[in-house]
Structures are given as C-alpha cells and as structure tokens.
Amino acid sequence: MIGIFDSGFGGLTVMRHIQALLPFEEILYFGDTARLPYGDKSPKTITEYCLENSTFLVEKGIDTLVIACHSACSVALSSLRVHFSIPIIGIIEYGLSEIPQDAKVIVILGTRATIAAGLYEKRIHARFPEAEILPIACPLFVPLVEEGYSDHVVASLVAKEYLRPLREKKVDAVILGCTHYPLLQKVLEQELKDIPLIDPAAACALALAQMHKPSGLNEAAPRHTFYVSDHPEKFRTLGEVFLQEPIVAIKNVHS
C-alpha cells in the first residue's frame, strides 16, 4: 500500500501519474488541508507537520511513502528518512534527468519555502556544476491555481513579473518545483516559448513503479482513500480538478 502525503491538493497531480503506472496498487492520500499552504511557513513548522502526517500514514500500514509536496520535501526529507524505516520517495529527487545535458542556464520555480531550502539548487549544482542556476520563488501561483485563475490574464501578468529576471537570459530548462505549476503550463509556455518545462511528477512515479513490489492482492482497480485534516467535502471539488477523476472516499483524520 502506497502512502502519498501533500500539504493539500497539489500531490494529486503526482498521484495521477502513480495510478497510471501502478493501477492495481492501493493508495492512501493525505492532504493537510487544515494547515495548508506550507510554502510560506518555516522549516521547523513544516517539518513538524510532515512528521505528524507521515506517522499517520505509516500507522495505517503503508509500505512506501511518497512526499508529493516540494515544500515539504525540500525542508523535511532527511528528517523523515531518519525517522521512518520504510522507503521514502521525495518528488524533489526526480526530473533532473530531463534537463538537457549541455544546459548552461537552469531555472527553478517554487514556493518561498522550496527556494529558501536550496535543496533543488544543491542537487542541480551537483549534476551540472558549470551551469548557472536561477531559483525563483512564485508565491502567488498556488492561490491563482486554486482559485481557478490558471488560464486568466491575471496569471499571465503574475508570471511576467516573476519571470522578469529571465528576460535577458538564454534559459535551457525550467523545473516546475511545485505540484501546482503544471496547471499553469499554458501561461508559462506563452512566457517561456520553447524552453523545456520539467515536471518531476512523471519521473517520480516511474521511480516508484520501478522499486515498488506490487502487493499482487488486487485484481481490479482498488478504491483509494483520501484523508484530510479539514472538512472532507471541502476537498472534493478542487481535488477532482487536480486528480481529473471523481474522488469517492474522503475521511477526516480526526474522526
């Protein structure tokens, strides 16, 4: 049984990829909707939340944990690995293989917490020691996506502001370092033209599929369970936009 943990909704874009590759595997999803967003909170607070939420999933019997939230992963991945003995897949560890080998300028877009943590930067630098790395915090992207403004001119204007430092640059790759950003793909493509946009979700799901031993118990697609810390019904509408399919079983973690 696979556990996916996210601050709220974004991790559902990762779950979509995992479901496609492991259709018979049961998934427990945890969205910390009572305390979201994580992207502007401090490392200490985010780490505490991650430990609590992961403990909840581990106690439910998952055998692999996916940290689908880049902010959580950037800040707490190493603490989580010290704390739990099951395999932990952190979304931030994937996607770098899609960066062109000869990339000279690599951009990371993320929340303030992800950018401040510097983990993406460090990992990209290890692989592309000569490349210039430009981390850009884009804090308004998450609320814009969650409020349905992904295709609105407002999203384009905000993207223009955030991407202003790239105007004079020849950029070779842009990492979408937040699970909400793939929903802004159109707006980002308008602004960035032919620069490859890299969403680590697919590579993360592939790595999971390669290492995960299927439980082999299910012959039909299993019914996944979604746990949330706020009211279950509030999760459904926006959750279905991210997952792109109906969400049936939503439970509150406290009840």
The catalytic residue positions are: 69, 178
Rounded Cα gap, residues 215 and 163, in angstroms = 45
Instruction: Compute the least distance from the CB of residue 240 to a copy of itself, in Å.
Output: 17
Instruction: Compute the least distance from the CB of residue 241 to a copy of itself, in Å.
Output: 15
Query: 147 or 189: whose CB is closer to a copy of itself?
Result: 147
Rounded Cα gap, residues 202 and 21, in angstroms = 10
Look up residue 129 and give its two tokens.
């020691």
Query: 7 or 19: whose CB is closer to a copy of itself?
Result: 7
DSSP 22: -
Rounded Cα gap, residues 74 and 93, in angstroms = 9
How many CA atoms does the CB half-sphere of 191 hold within 13 Å? 23
Instruction: Compute the least distance from the CB of residue 71 to a copy of itself, in Å.
Output: 13
Query: 160 or 223: whose CB is closer to a copy of itself?
Result: 160
Query: 157 or 217: whose CB is closer to a copy of itself?
Result: 157
The residues of the shown chain that bind a copy of itself, judged by CB under 8 A, are: 33-35, 40-42, 44-45, 139-140, 143-144, 147, 149, 152-154, 157-158, 161, 229-231, 234
CA-nearest of 78, 89, 79 to 6 is 89
Instruction: Compute the least distance from the CB of residue 247 to a copy of itself, in Å.
Output: 17
Three-point CA angle 206, 212, 217, nearest 5°: 120
